[in-house]
Each structure stands twice: as C-alpha cells, then as structure tokens.
Amino acid sequence: MPITTHWFLPTHGDGRSVVDRPHTTPTGADTPRRPDIDYLAQVAQAVEHLGFTGMLTPTGSWCQDAWITTAALLARTKRIKFLVAFRPGSLSPTLAAQLASTYQKVSDGRLLLNIVTGGESTEQQRYGDWLDHDERYARTDEFLAIMRGIFAGEPFDFDGEHYSVRGATSFEPPAPVPPLYFGGSSDAALPVAARRADVHLTWGEPPAAVGRKVQRLRELAAEEGRELRFGLRAHVITRNTSADAWDTAQRFLEQMDPADVAASQAKIAKTEAVGQQKMAALHGGVLPSSARDLEVHPGLWAGVGLLRGGAGTALVGSHSEVADLIEEYHSVGIDEFVLSGYPHLEEAYWFGEGVHPELARRGLRENSSPGAVRDLEPAPH
C-alpha cells in the first residue's frame, strides 16, 4: 500500500521553535504567529500545493475549534482534506453524524474524522466531563456504534450505559462516509480501535515498538472480523543535509528554559494516558547539552517531548534519511503519516519539496508534489 502523508493545522498559533507553543510554556503564550484565518489559509494552501492528502486539526481548550476553522478554510482551498479532531464527550453522536453529513455535502467529501477520547481529567473537566480514563473509552465505543449506525442511512436504535437513542438519523448519510481515525495505547483503548476505527494513530515510538502495537491491533481487529490501517503522528526536521537538520534540533534544544521543561515534565508525570507515558519515557525528563543525546533511534529525536505534550518525537535528518525512517515505519505496518514542524509553513515546504520526491523515487507514493529540488531554501513567511 502506498504511503499517505498529512500535515498539521496550527490552530493554536505557530512559531520558529518548539518553545513557541501557547499550550506548553508561559514563554510561548504570546506565540509569534497568531492563528488568524489568513495565516491558517496560507499554511493550508501550501500544504495542498505540496501534495499532502489532509491536515489534522486539533481539539482542546488550548486551540480554536476544528469544525468551524476548517469549514472556513474550505473556500480558501480546493482539494486538501481536513482531519477534524473532536471529543465524543463534548457532543451527542447524533449531532456528530449530522455535522459529518453536512460537512461532506458542503466540502464535496473532504472530511476525515479524528476521534479523541479525551485529554487529561483536568482538561476534560473544563468541558464538564467527569468520567475516568477507562469510562471515557467505554463511552467512545458506544458513541461510534451509534455514529456508524446513523451513517448506514436508516433510523437507528441503541441502548447502552452512556447513550440511549431512538430512531437516530441525519438528513442524509454522508457521501462518502468519512473514515474514522482513532488513537489510544491503553488496554481500554485498543479493543475500541479494533471494533470501530478505520485508521489507528500512534505517536512516534521507535519502529520496533510501533510494530508490536500494530501486530497486537491486527490480532484484535481480526477477532472482530475487521482490518485496520495504521498511521503515525510525529514532527519532522528535514534539510538538505543531516548536519543542517541536527543543527536545527540543537537550536530548539538550546532555546528551552530548564524551568519550563521541569514544569512541563511535572505536569506530564501525572498523566493517565499510556501513550503519553511512553513518550515521556523516551527522554526521561532530562535536558542534555547535545540534541544527539535524545536520539532514541537513528533519526528519531525525543527532544520535542521535553516541552510538548502529545506527540513528542521528530524525524530528523537529510531528506533521504527521513525517507529511510519513514520506509522503516512503513515496513512495520504504518501507511499514513501525520506530520508537523516549526514553523508549519516553512517545514511543510522542506518536507514537500525534499522528502515527497524521495518517497516517489522509491515507489512509496505518487509524486504529486512540485518536484525534487536539490538545494532547498526555506519558504518565506
């Protein structure tokens, strides 16, 4: 199966370093590039031009609403799909199905859905959600059962612990039915993915660990009579040479304030999320002097996770080296890559003009990007 690449829409703001993150550190609260619609359109148009398939748009109290923001960008783009993240506890499954149907109608089928069961309990409680970690996944299972029932096009009844609906339906089924992307690494999450998801997303652990998770999920899905596709969520720093890429990683590291790192790690240490625990284990909360000290697998850098929650690793290297690592992940079952970088506009050009052609030369994707450029310069803002 060929590789599919997606990018990230920075609806929290953007900047030239990992420290420019409004939801991670006080330093990043006044992010250099505010997420106004013109800047977001600039990023989306670039990503579309560069041959990416879709854009992940996050959910949470630290960013703009994904449904509204991406709907506004439909008129500013032509082809790019939007991977809209939302939390089942924040709206009813019937309303979610209606939103999906309407979105597909007005976008001509450009919706992908990312089901986010929940963040930390403190984040969930901001939305009035007081269920614990495992209960949230049980609710998500029921939510997706109802959504898929509505997508089938007939009035749907369901009685569960968290939801009961009678004659649930939408104006018309979405056409096409948007694929469901789903993340989670815990014992509560994996069976839900096996039963309900189309694509399971995982964060960038080393390839061997990712391969073990893929195999387990394949076995769980087979028990349900289903097959899953698999995606990886990670950052990327790719340049003409390996030295240039690692120099950028070193600059990111040197810009980190030890006090901010300590505060971020204290917060992450309380996490309930198994995937987040695995991200934290890769760097151990240690701020070294050399970026290479956080290279946890050839070309895989754990430094982003010192400040940022969620995806904490980056693919770092020359365009060829980054393609090597993508190919390694592909060999253990990953077909879709949801990537991001700092800033999101410039790094999209580095990847789209450098790595996309390299992947095409290897027969791993169609060369729909502008073409290989041997000596790339970062795109102007």
What pLDDT score does 376 carry?
41
Confidence band of 371 (pLDDT split at 50, 70, 90): very low
- The structure's pTM equals 0.92
One DSSP character per residue, 358-380 reads HHHHTTSS---SS---SS--PPP
Q: In this predicted model, what pLDDT tens digit does every residue of 101-139 receive, in sequence order?
A: 999 999 999 999 999 997 677 778 888 888 998 999 999
Q: Which of 297, 350, 352 is nearest to 328 (CA)?
A: 297
Gyration radius of the chain over CA positions: 20
Q: Examine the pLDDT at 91 and tell me if it is beyond 50.
A: yes
Q: In this predicted model, what pLDDT tens digit does every residue of 173-191 receive, in sequence order?
A: 999 999 999 999 999 999 9
What pLDDT score does 153 carry?
92
- Domains annotated for the chain, with CATH where assigned, are 4-245+311-362 (3.20.20.30)
CB 137 within 8 A of CB 115: no
Q: In this predicted model, what pLDDT tens digit does every residue of 1-25 receive, in sequence order?
A: 789 999 999 999 999 988 876 445 4
Confidence band of 328 (pLDDT split at 50, 70, 90): very high
Residues 6+ apart with CB under 8 A from 50: 348, 349, 351, 352, 353, 356, 369, 370
Distance CA 379, CA 45 (A): 13
Q: In this predicted model, what pLDDT tens digit does every residue of 255-273 receive, in sequence order?
A: 999 999 998 888 888 777 7
Distance CA 22, CA 136 (A): 26
What pLDDT score does 25 carry?
46
What pLDDT score does 21 carry?
60
Q: How is residue 293 annotated by DSSP?
A: G
- In degrees and rounded to multiples of 5, residue 232 shows phi and psi of -120, 130
What pLDDT score does 300 carry?
98
By percentage, how much of the chain surpasses pLDDT 90? 77
Give SS3 for 263.
Answer: helix
Amino acid identity, position 111: L
What is the DSSP pairing of strand 229-239 with strand 336-340?
A: parallel
What pLDDT score does 275 carry?
81
